[in-house]
A = this chain, B = another copy of it.
């Protein structure tokens, strides 16, 4: 992935959260159940997201984590910026400083639209979108598991993953 594992966990954690509830608090223990998200580590990451104003947390009975604002108003970009800083996608491909729009290197002009495309995706994709996507995904997996074990089909899927 193009992010640190910290950011990846954050994205996945928020997707899990949004897939369960966008309003009601969810316990971290419930959130990681059935996933391979490391509970203790995710707790640290969520702490940072609370400080960043993306998550809300409550202690004690009835507590847990919930989104600090509607999931449709939290872009994946917000998560990335909160955890990796504003400049994560900045800079030119050559890693040169002194590259800018006013004094671009030729590559700069080629790379900029690529970076822009990535940014747009991250800015327009919200935590709600991830929640919906994850719910749908889990539905598909459940459905597949319910079907009589078709190993040929599963093998084909694995091969497709490897190629991806």
Selected from B107, B117, B134, the residue in CB contact (under 8 A) with A125 is B107
Are A91 and B164 in contact (CB-based, < 8 A)? yes
**How would you classify the secondary structure of chain A's contact residues: helix, strand, loop or mixed?**
helix
Query: Are B105 and A137 closer than 8 Å at their CB atoms?
Result: yes
A12, B156: Cα distance in complex, Å: 39
Return A119 CB to nearest CB of chain B, in Å.
10
- Pick from A22-30, A41-49, A57-65, A94-102 the stretch touching chain B: A94-102
Q: Are B130 and A94 in contact (CB under 8 A)?
A: yes
In contact, B2 and A99 (Cβ under 8 angstroms): no
**When chains A and B are docked, how far (Å) is the Cα of A31 from the Cα of B17?**
50
* Bound complex: CA A91 to CA B2 (Å): 10
A55 CB contacts on chain B under 8 angstroms: none
Q: Quick one: CB contact mask for A145-164 with B, threshold 8 Å, 1 for yes?
A: 00000000000110011001
State the Cβ distance, A12 to closest chain B Cβ, in Å. 5
The A87-116 residues at the B interface (CB cut-off 8 A) are 88-91, 93-103, 105-108, 110-111, 114
Do residues B130 and A98 form an inter-chain contact, with CB atoms below 8 A? no
Specify which chain B residues have a CB less than 8 angstroms from the CB of A88 in the assembled complex: 1-2
Instruction: Give Cα A8–Cα B94 distance, bound, in whole angstroms.
Output: 7
* A107 partner residues in chain B, CB cutoff 8 A: 125, 129-130, 133
CB-CB under 8 A from A136, the residues of chain B are: 105-106
A72 to B157, CA, bound (A): 35
Contact A12 B98 (CB under 8 A): no
Which one of B8, B117, B157 lies within 8 Å of A117 (CB-CB)? B117
Contact status B160-A102, CB under 8 Å: yes
